[in-house]
Amino acid sequence: MNPLTTRYLGPDEVESVASILTHGGIVALPTETVYGLAGNAFSGECALKIFKAKERPSFDPLITHVSEKLLSGRGGVLNALVEAGVIDRSTIAWRTAPQVERLIHTFWPGPLTLILPRGSKIPDEVTSGSPRVGVRMPEHVLFQKVLSLTGFPLAAPSANRFGRISPTTASHVRAELDGRIDAVLDGGPCSVGVESTIVSLEESDHGTLIATLLRPGKISRAALELALGIPVGDGVGLGEKNQKIAAPGMLDQHYAPVKPLFLYPGPFPSRTVLDSWIRKLGLNGTPAFLCQHLKSSECLDPEDLRSVLTPEADPETAARALFSALRSLDEDAAVDFILAELPENTEEGLSAAIADRLNRASVNKPLLKR
């Protein structure tokens, strides 16, 4: 790949960012969840640049990010999306439109991606040929400023190389994509820290809405059910008719550090029990312990290498710290393998998201049993 000179831009340089995007460039932008690698969502060529920079397989579709200006459209957000060419009304009768509008007005702008029928202006390259498109209205003020300057929606996957840990700071993006992209807009650390909740919406033959959760995130299943007034099916790792989805965000191996990562269903037991597990797994070298909270680190020896996600058992702080912690343990030369504690209560949105990302980061490694 020919190296590009990546420009590092600050929050007062959104005009330069918009200009690069308007000229067909690709730029990493902050969102409230993770940094995204953005390009014109109406351009197949821009989508291909994104796939190339990330070394992402072409079958994994990109999410299209839209402006919050669509919220004020008089005919509703769905109509505004149809008029913008982002979604289509042909494959869905929209008898359920009021339910979907309610969902949109509850959570947009914010960390929720909806999978809807794809509109005429979204090229095959963005959706990997799928007749459906992922749409998200991010909340981040800088991302929204860029969207209002470009006037076109932005296709943006997380700004990491394929299969790697998602970036939550501009320096993470530099470590992943320096020399591969035109610019990085530094908006400081991301406030949520894990990617958006993804929900697929379809209409049944009887005109009722079918909602399926494809990726857990900050917006919990319970919150979605409350807004929609229907149960939300579990499709994490599954597609229509329960087939495995050919999309790596939902594939098993993802978000992975380079070092082996093993899971322990929290809370961590005594160091002696942990040692016996390490021996059973046949692991040599120095472990690092990823603790969900301070209390669960009490079993460790003072000299043990560790990362504590949150002082209190607070899922918001834990989610914000997760990818940074994984990245720094991965980069620490003193660490040979990582033992990560899974959150105890995985019902809540962010705890479910943390457990999901850790499970994918540790795939093919044995799950430690209590």
Binding interface with Mg ion (CB under 5 A): 158
127 near ligand TXA, rule: CB under 6 A: yes
CB of 124 to Mg ion, least distance (A): 20
Residue with smaller CB distance to ligand TXA, 191 or 310: 191
Cβ proximity to ligand TXA: between 73 and 163 the closer is 163
**33 touching ligand TXA, by CB under 6 A:** yes
The option from ligand TXA, Mg ion, none interacting with 47 (CB < 5 to 8 A, set by class) reads none
Question: Nearest distance from residue 110's CB to Mg ion, in Å?
Answer: 18
CB atoms within 10 A of CB 73: 14
Judged by CB under 6 A, does residue 147 bind ligand TXA? no
Look-up of token digits 């999901």? 356
Phi and psi angles of residue 179, each rounded to the nearest 5 degrees, phi first: 85, 0
Which range in 107-115, 145-153, 301-309, 352-360 contacts ligand TXA by CB under 6 A?
107-115
What is the pattern of x (binds ligand TXA, CB under 6 A) and - over residues 13-32?
------------------x-
Of the residues 133, 228, 278, 309, which one makes contact with ligand TXA according to CB under 6 A: 133
Q: Is 40 in the site for ligand TXA (CB under 6 A)?
A: no
| Tokens linked to 108 | 């947009």
Residue 9 bridge partners (DSSP): 185
Contact 63, 74 (CB under 8 A): no
**Site track for ligand TXA across 46-85, x = CB under 6 A:** --------------xxxx----------------------
Distance of CA 286 to the CA centre of its chain: 30
140, 36 Cβ separation under 8 angstroms = no
**DSSP codes, 166-216:** PPSSHHHHHHHHTTTSSEEE---S-SS-SPPEEEEEEE-TTS-EEEEEEE-
Burial 154-173 (b: 16+ CB within 10 A, else e): bbbbbbbeebbbbbbbbbbb
Work out which of 250, 256, 309, 335 binds ligand TXA, going by CB under 6 A: 250
Q: Which stretch binds ligand TXA (CB under 6 A): 174-182, 194-202, 298-306, 312-320?
A: 194-202
CB neighbours of 347 closer than 8 A, spacing ≥ 6? 220, 222
Nearer to ligand TXA, 224 or 291 (CB): 224
Q: Is 249 in the site for ligand TXA (CB under 6 A)?
A: yes
Closest by CA position to 78, among listed 196, 250, 203:
203
d(CA 337, CA 335): 6
Shortest Å, Cβ 127 to ligand TXA: 5
Closest CA to 300 of 287, 283, 314, 282: 287
Query: Which does residue 290 bind out of Mg ion, ligand TXA, none, counting CB within 5 to 8 angstroms by kind?
Result: none
Of positions 109, 119, 193, 248, contacts ligand TXA by CB under 6 A: 248
Spatial separation of the C-alpha atoms in residues 226 and 71, rounded to whole Å: 21
Longest dimension (CA), the chain: 64
248 binds, among ligand TXA, Mg ion, none (CB under 5 to 8 A by kind): ligand TXA
8 A C-beta contact, residue 108 and residue 77: yes
* Cβ-based nearer residue to Mg ion, 158 or 310: 158
Least spacing, CB of residue 166 vs Mg ion, in Å: 5
195 binds ligand TXA (CB under 6 A): yes
* Residue nearest ligand TXA by beta-carbon distance: 249
Q: Which residues bind ligand TXA (CB under 6 A)?
A: 31, 33-34, 36, 60-63, 111, 113, 115, 127, 130, 132-134, 136, 138, 156-158, 195-196, 198, 247-250
